């Protein structure tokens, strides 16, 4: 048994009956939707045509939301339905990043993930989903695609169908008959916040913080322009959201270009915006510092054979532990259900890299605590073993997030093979930068300080090289190319070129060339600032790409 949907676009009239029925059946709060209808218009007035597309969970055979969920709150049933258990969900929002179809949302009342579950409670009573029952044109067909006698199987056998984003390899099971590509490929149309009949532009609950229109206006990258008359219809007082910059004449020309587009969205669900906010960027930053603060000095001491002062070792262990605790606190703060954070450790789903990372961090914290205990009690026999375990668990803590982001298959930019190298370099940079910054207090020793200086210098060079490779080689998908352009030439260009390249890399390189003194401390501080800006951009930019 394998349940699926067919959306017959030859019949759909865009009446929203399915949306209303779904909301009524599941008591879905205002501002979020399990099922919604997207409108696309093509052509130029008066020769235009409107296309409707029903959007929802695709109940994938290879569901990335199930794989990334750390507590089995999302699961695939034997009948092929991807269902969820709100009693287990911790509100980590990883599933919203993993889903390529933007099908999941955070319920503003329960603060847990939810989505279309194929009306599983009705299926168990041999009833059809509510949306199928209510559709006046029978444009939504449900059933078992493994049953050759079912209506859905017969339709699949004789009609040409398409799916959304088959290149993702998720094996989606919402099939469309005669779907226009502009309606099922989000990259072909811009996502806005204002649609006809829509009073939900700012979202509700969790989404009120990250509404797309609000974020666009807040960062100053776009502005509302009121045209005295519509350039196509002549209707007065038409407002258009356009990129900000240049003189007034050019701005108006950009506004008219927007209105002349032949393909446009005219109705859609409210944008979810940024789900992983500053807490995730900050946790990546503190995690890099925690791992690097231990790895760098003890690698110098044990692997390079250089003498490091006892005070430096104490500071390295202490700072690593402090920043690791901060990392855990930020992770808990980012949860919409922080009261359930222990579910990650006690109800783990082992395929999720969020679970594996939590255990890596726990192991690293345990080794740090044992190192402190050994130093206090004067035990030196197991010193090398503890240091070796600390370096291994520190490395795992540093790079596991790359694999977690790789599980977020909805975000193409995070699928970069360089991501693990980025996080490793960030940890080495952060550890060396922190110790260089605190050198006047730590007194690491002349040889150790010189080694730290050259380690930081080399790490920055490798970091710059990785950025050249990341942005200099072609990206394989439209979403990753768009994200790259957004970073290099779009809304993040000042953050990237000034904050990352100049402040975080080039200035520290220049300051590291003089031998010692205040220059080293300033270089360390600037490097730490640059690492945070990188994490901020890498987390936020891909989330601004619409997935539906």
Which CATH number is 526's domain given? 1.20.1630.10
Pairing of strands 3-8, 174-177: parallel
DSSP 3-state of 239 = strand
pLDDT at position 244 is: 52
What is the spatial distance between Cα 62 and Cα 42, in angstroms, rounded to a whole number?
33
Domain count, the chain: 3
Looking at every residue in the chain, the average pLDDT score rounds to 86
Are 421 and 360 in a shared domain? Answer: yes
- Cβ contact 75:92 at 8 Å: no
CATH assignment of the domain containing 101: 3.30.70.20
Q: How many whole angstroms from its chain centre is CA 350?
A: 20
What is the spatial distance between Cα 157 and Cα 141, in angstroms, rounded to a whole number?
14
Residue with tokens 């493994």: 146
Pairing of strands 113-114, 105-106: antiparallel
- Cβ contact 91:112 at 8 Å: yes
Instruction: Answer whether residue 514 is part of any domain.
Output: yes
What is the spatial distance between Cα 507 and Cα 517, in angstroms, rounded to a whole number?
16
Are 176 and 240 in a shared domain? Answer: no
pLDDT at position 193 is: 59
Instruction: Answer whether residue 100 is part of any domain.
Output: yes
pLDDT digits (tens, 9 = 90+) for 256-283: 454 445 788 888 887 787 899 999 999 9
Is the confidence at residue 248, as pLDDT, over 70?
no
Q: Which domain holds residue 224?
A: 212-260
Are 340 and 465 in a shared domain? Answer: yes
pLDDT digits (tens, 9 = 90+) for 486-542: 999 999 999 999 999 999 999 999 998 877 667 888 999 999 999 999 999 999 999
Instruction: Answer whether residue 179 is part of any domain.
Output: yes
Are 333 and 480 in a shared domain? Answer: yes
Which candidate, 62, 108, 109, 57, places its Cα nearest to that of 84? 57
pLDDT at position 208 is: 46
pLDDT digits (tens, 9 = 90+) for 87-100: 999 999 999 999 99
Is the confidence at residue 75, as pLDDT, over 60?
yes
Instruction: Answer whether residue 159 is part of any domain.
Output: yes
pLDDT digits (tens, 9 = 90+) for 176-221: 999 988 888 888 887 765 665 554 444 444 544 443 333 344 344 4
Task: Return the top range by mean pLDDT from 34-43, 45-54, 126-135.
Answer: 126-135
Cα angle vertex 417, ends 330, 476, to 5°? Answer: 115
Number of other CB atoms surrounding residue 132 within 10 Å: 20
Are 496 and 388 in a shared domain? Answer: yes
DSSP 3-state of 190 = coil
Are 300 and 252 in a shared domain? Answer: no
Is the confidence at residue 66, as pLDDT, over 50?
yes
Instruction: Answer whether residue 297 is part of any domain.
Output: yes
pLDDT band at 237 (very low <50, low <70, confident <90, very high): very low
Instruction: Answer whether residue 126 is part of any domain.
Output: yes
Are 230 and 335 in a shared domain? Answer: no
Are 43 and 80 in a shared domain? Answer: yes
Q: Which of 129, 153, 188 corresponds to the end of one domain?
A: 188
Is the confidence at residue 240, as pLDDT, over 60?
no
pLDDT at position 184 is: 87
pLDDT at position 456 is: 94
Are 115 and 83 in a shared domain? Answer: yes
Are 174 and 48 in a shared domain? Answer: yes
Task: Out of 147-156, 437-446, 480-489, pick the least confident.
Answer: 437-446
Instruction: Answer whether residue 197 is part of any domain.
Output: no
What is the spatial distance between Cα 163 and Cα 183, in angstroms, rounded to a whole number?
11
Instruction: Answer whether residue 270 is part of any domain.
Output: no
What is the spatial distance between Cα 451 and Cα 494, in angstroms, rounded to a whole number?
33
Q: In what order do the strands lie in the sheet with 161-162?
A: 140-144, 3-8, 174-177, 161-162
Are 335 and 456 in a shared domain? Answer: yes
Is the confidence at residue 247, as pLDDT, over 80?
no
What is the spatial distance between Cα 372 and Cα 353, in angstroms, rounded to a whole number?
28
Cα angle vertex 99, ends 97, 104, to 5°? Answer: 85
Is the confidence at residue 395, as pLDDT, over 90?
yes
Task: Out of 136-140, 245-249, 356-360, 401-405, pick the least confident.
Answer: 245-249
pLDDT digits (tens, 9 = 90+) for 447-486: 888 888 899 999 999 999 999 999 999 988 889 999 999 9
Is the confidence at residue 58, as pLDDT, over 80?
yes
- Kindly state the percentage of the chain with pLDDT values over 90: 66
Q: Which of 153, 188, 223 corresponds to the end of one domain?
A: 188
Are 117 and 244 in a shared domain? Answer: no
């Amino acid at each position: 048994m394998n349940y699926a949907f067919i959306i017959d676009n030859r019949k759909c009239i865009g009446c929203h009956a399915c949306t209303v029925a779904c909301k009524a059946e599941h008591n879905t709060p205002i501002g979020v939707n399990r099922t919604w209808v997207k409108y696309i218009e093509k052509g130029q007035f008066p020769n235009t045509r409107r296309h409707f597309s029903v959007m929802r969970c695709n109940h994938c055979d290879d569901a990335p939301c199930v794989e990334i969920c750390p507590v089995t709150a999302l699961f695939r049933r034997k009948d092929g339905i991807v269902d969820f258990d709100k009693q287990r969900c911790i509100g980590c929002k990883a599933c919203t990043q993993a889903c390529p179809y933007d099908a999941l949302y955070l319920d503003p009342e329960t603060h847990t993930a939810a989505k279309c579950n194929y009306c599983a409670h009705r299926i168990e009573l041999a009833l059809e989903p509510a949306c199928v029952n209510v559709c006046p044109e029978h444009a939504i067909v449900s059933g078992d695609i493994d049953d050759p006698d079912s209506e859905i199987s017969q339709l699949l056998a004789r009609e040409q169908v398409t799916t959304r984003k088959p290149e993702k390899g998720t094996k989606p099971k919402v099939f469309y008959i005669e779907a226009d590509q502009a309606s099922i490929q989000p990259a072909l149309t811009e996502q806005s916040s204002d649609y006809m009949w829509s009073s939900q532009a700012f979202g509700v609950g969790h989404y009120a913080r990250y509404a797309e229109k609000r974020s666009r206006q807040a960062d100053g990258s776009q502005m509302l322009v009121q045209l005295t008359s519509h350039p196509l219809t002549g209707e007065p007082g038409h407002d258009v959201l356009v990129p900000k910059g240049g003189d007034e004449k050019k701005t108006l020309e950009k506004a008219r270009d927007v209105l002349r587009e032949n393909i446009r969205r005219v109705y859609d669900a409210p944008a979810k915006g940024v789900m992983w906010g500053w807490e995730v960027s900050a946790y990546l930053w503190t995690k890099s510092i925690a791992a690097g603060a231990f790895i760098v000095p003890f690698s110098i001491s044990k692997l390079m054979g250089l003498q490091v002062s006892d005070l430096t070792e104490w500071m390295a262990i202490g700072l690593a532990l402090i920043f690791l605790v901060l990392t855990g606190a930020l992770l808990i703060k980012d949860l919409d259900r922080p009261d359930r954070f222990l579910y990650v450790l006690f109800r783990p789903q082992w395929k999720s890299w969020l679970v594996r990372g939590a255990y890596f961090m726990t192991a690293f914290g345990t080794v740090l605590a044992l190192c402190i205990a050994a130093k206090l009690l004067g035990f030196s026999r197991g010193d090398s073993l503890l240091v070796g375990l600390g370096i291994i668990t520190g490395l795992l803590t540093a790079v596991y997030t790359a694999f977690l982001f790789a599980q977020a298959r909805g975000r193409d930019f995070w699928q970069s093979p360089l991501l693990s190298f980025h996080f490793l370099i960030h940890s080495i940079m952060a550890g060396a930068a922190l110790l260089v910054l605190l050198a006047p207090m730590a007194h690491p020793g002349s040889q150790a300080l010189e080694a730290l200086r050259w380690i930081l210098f080399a790490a920055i060079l490798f970091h710059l090289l990785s950025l050249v490779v990341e942005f200099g080689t072609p990206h394989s998908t439209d979403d990753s190319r768009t994200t790259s352009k957004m970073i290099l030439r779009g809304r993040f260009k000042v953050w990237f070129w000034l904050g990352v390249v100049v402040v975080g890399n080039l200035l520290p390189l220049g300051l590291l060339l003089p031998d010692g003194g205040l220059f080293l401390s300033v270089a360390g501080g600037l490097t730490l600032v640059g690492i945070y800006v990188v994490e901020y951009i890498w987390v936020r930019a891909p989330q601004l790409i619409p997935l539906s």
